[in-house]
Every structure is written in C-alpha cells, then in structure tokens.
Amino acid sequence: MLLNLALIIIVAVVLATVFEKCKLPPLLGMITAGIILGDNCIHFICEDVLAISGELRTAALIVILIRAGLGINRETLNRIGNSAIKMSCIPGLVEGAFIIAATCLLLDFTWVQAGTLAFILAAVSPAVIVPQMLELKEMGFGKNKEVPTLVLAGASIDDVFAITIFGAFVSMGLGDGQNPLMMLLNIPFSIFNGIVIGLILGAILVYLFTKVSMRDTKKIMLFMVTAIAFHSFEEAKLIPVASLLGIMAMGFIILEKKNDVAQRLAIRFNKIWVIAEILLFVMIGAEVNLSVIGKTGIVGLVIILIGLIGRSLGVWAALYKSNLNNKEKTFCTLAYFPKATVQAAIGSIPLSLGLPHGEEILAIAVLSIIVTAPLGAICIRLTSEKLLEKPTEL
C-alpha cells in the first residue's frame, strides 16, 4: 500500500505541475490524477487505499480548516461577520429553490425527490475553495475588505445548511417518521454547538500549551487528534454539531490567546498541507464515477447551470448593502461555484437507500463535480488579480 501511495503522489505532483505550467490550478491536475488512476480508467489505486479514502479526505479537510482558523482574528471576524452569515445560507437556499423548480419541470421528479437532488448540489466545496482563499490571503489579494476570508468562512457554514436540508428531504422520501421541520431547526443549534465546543476545546489546548512544555510537533499532533475526535463526535450524531466550523473556532481562539504559538503552528500546518492537498484531491478524483454521467445528459447539465444562476443571484442578495464593490461581488460569485467534497460523499446516498431516481441523482451529482470544480477553480485563478484589490505595499 505504501508503494502504491508513493506512486500516486508522484503522478499527482507531475500532473499538478503540468496544469500549473498551463496556467491552470494545480488541484485540477490532482483531481485528474485520481480520475485516471482510479476505477474509471486504469484501476491503479489499490483497494486498501480506496478503503481509507474517506478518512484520508477527512484528515486533509481538517488540516485546511485548521489553517483557516489560525488565520482569522477577532478584528477580521468583526468586519466580515454579518456578510459571512448571509453568505453561508442565502446562496445555497436560492440555488436549492432554483434546482427544485428546474428538476420538477425537466425531469419526472416529485418535489421531495427534486429537493433531495437540490441540496446535494447546493453545497459548495470547502476543499476546493478554502485552499485557494488562503493562498489569496497570503498574497494580499482582497485584504482591505477581507474578501477571501469572507468567502472561506461562508463556504464552511454553507455545507451545514445544505447537508441538514438534504437529510430532511431524504427523511421525507423514506417516510421514516423523522420530523423534517425539527431537522431544519437543528441548523442553528448545529452552528451554535460547533462554535461553542470548538472555542472550549481551543481554550483547553491553549491551557495545555501554556502549562505543559512541549515541542511544536507535539502541539500539532495534539491539535490534530482533538480535531479528529471532535469530527468523530459529530458523526456519532449524539447532538447536532457543526464540527468543521468548530475546528475553525479552535484555531481562532488559539490565535486570540497565543498569537506566537498560532503563527508557528500555521507555518507547520502549511507544510503538512503539501501532502494532505495531494491526497484530498486525488481521492476526490478517484471517487468520481464517470460511467453514470450519460444517464442524465444535457438535462443534467441544464439543471446544474440553472442552479449556478440561482447561487449567483443568492450571492448578490447576500452582499446587498455590504461594503464590497461590484468587482468584489463578482469574484465572490465565481468563488462560490466549485462543488466536489459533499457531492462525492453523499451523492450516492439516495441510490443506496433505494430512493426513486437514485441513479439520476448520482449522475447529476457526479456531473456537477466535473463541471463546477474546474470552472470555479479556473475562475478564481484567472479573475483574482482583476477583481480583487491588492495592497500597494505587497
């Protein structure tokens, strides 16, 4: 398995370099490597690696969210807070509504089946968006109004809404007796619990870092173990909790209380991300099932594009009366296109549960990854210098 992983990383690095030379985002090369090496083409990725694909993606996503949390201070949060909250829900809800209407009109779906598809597609991909926003932050683009921070914060909460509403529609489709309204009411509790628990865990880490002498390497290990345990707690579903948001809160409180430690940890997590990024995007590519795409054809593409129109209108509505100019709002719109992580994770759930039109839902979910991940990543890369302000001193 180790040799298999090593060869996968080599191929991914080569393709990422090729894509970068072509002025395209390197992550597209990594996703392409996963598609080629996975079951779609040459079946090179061994079963043992595929068996832990989900865990590898989760660990990599945790790393990037820790990096994001360690870069958000109180002043920044105060500046973007209101807009970030609106960006976390309005675009996804508008996109979901557009997709429900389009699906009911174009396919033989009930509104419940259309809603199930809609909120699979309505989730943006933090795995694609957050790394690129962190890169823009480091280069200074949009710093004056914290545009990249606004996008990454909103994207991290966006998934909470989409996945919870998806669960409500699945519950209605199964008729399992769960109250969809109560599931929707769990959204604010999930966000609140995630933030509070994250702040508490972060404060505990600060106390340990202060009272116990340990090298930064051990601090990183303790941080990662705590974050993984927190995410596992969410998966246990004992209480509604948005763990990914809470993991960012852990980084935030460490930055607030121990700025010097946070800066050192951020540098080391940046180095860990070099490997984590490769594993994340290769495994996302390996999860893509190209064989199902033909089952929806042009209709699936039309539904996805209608959804993106709805999301774009939702972004502009969320940023109405914000301090962003039209160029910056346009950038936020384009940055909110990529979909990959959630669609790869939950796109097959309706099919596995035996829900009607499960194959079509999976096909459109896969198509959304193929279309929007490259489209969004390329748009971010090509438009950031033109649409975002860069401080003159940088």
Domain ranges of the chain: 57-387
Q: What is the pLDDT of residue 1?
A: 78
Which pLDDT score is estimated for 179? Answer: 65
User: Dihedrals φ, ψ of 355, to 5°?
Assistant: -75, 150
pTM, two decimal places: 0.79
Tokens of 104: 């009911």
The CA distance from 223 to 261, in Å, is 12
Q: How far is CA 365 from the centre of its chain?
A: 15
Q: Which tokens sit at 274?
A: 């070099």
Mean pLDDT per 10-residue section of the chain, whose length is 394 residues: 86 91 83 86 84 82 85 77 86 95 91 92 87 88 87 83 83 69 75 90 94 90 94 83 86 90 90 86 80 79 95 95 91 92 79 84 87 89 88 54
CATH of domain 57-387: 1.20.1530.20
